[in-house]
């Protein structure tokens, strides 16, 4: 069980669960709740990354051995220096399950691009999000 509440971060990477699956004896990640946080000019916003390969590629030739279940991002607001305010990049063989995005309001600082979410193999629900951030 992991609880994060009231964190103000940035500039920096934002709030990430990952990089998972890179090491032999890693344990599954379950019951993570991130609530009431503020992001200021982060590069990743909110992110889950389970992988066996570098650079946000989930599965190249191998498969992840780490499951990610029951992760809640709730009441998070702020800004991102990249358009991808939310990235849920989960392994092909072990999708992230039970992911909840609730009342997320992260805006892109730049011009010409909309704030967006990028999702791969994430199963869950989005509640109270702007349309561009509702990827599950």
Q: What's the start-to-end Cα distance of the chain, in Å?
A: 23
Whether 133 and 86 have beta carbons less than 8 Å apart is answered as yes
Please say whether the dihedral angle defined by the alpha carbons of residues 102, 114, 20 and 52, taken in this order, is positive or negative.
Answer: positive
Known catalytic membership, residue 5: no
Buried/exposed code over 59-75 (b: 16+ C-beta within 10 A; e: otherwise): beeeebbbbbbbbebbb
- Which of 2, 5, 7, 13 is catalytic? The answer is 13
In angstroms, the CA 73 to CA 4 distance is: 10
Which residues carry out catalysis? 13
């Amino acid at each position: 069980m992991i609880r994060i509440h009231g964190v103000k971060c940035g500039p920096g990477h934002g709030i990430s669960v990952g990089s998972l699956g890179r090491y032999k004896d890693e344990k599954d990640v379950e019951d993570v709740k991130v609530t009431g946080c503020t992001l200021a000019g982060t590069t990743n916003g909110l992110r889950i990354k389970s992988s066996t390969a570098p650079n946000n590629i989930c599965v190249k030739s191998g498969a992840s051995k780490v499951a990610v279940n029951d992760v809640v991002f709730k009441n998070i607001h702020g800004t991102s220096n990249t358009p991808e305010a939310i990235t849920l990049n989960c392994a092909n063989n072990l999708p992230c399950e039970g992911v909840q995005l609730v009342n997320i309001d992260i805006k892109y600082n730049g011009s010409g691009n909309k704030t967006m979410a990028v999702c791969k193999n994430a199963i869950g629900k989005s509640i109270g999000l702007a349309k561009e951030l509702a990827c599950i």
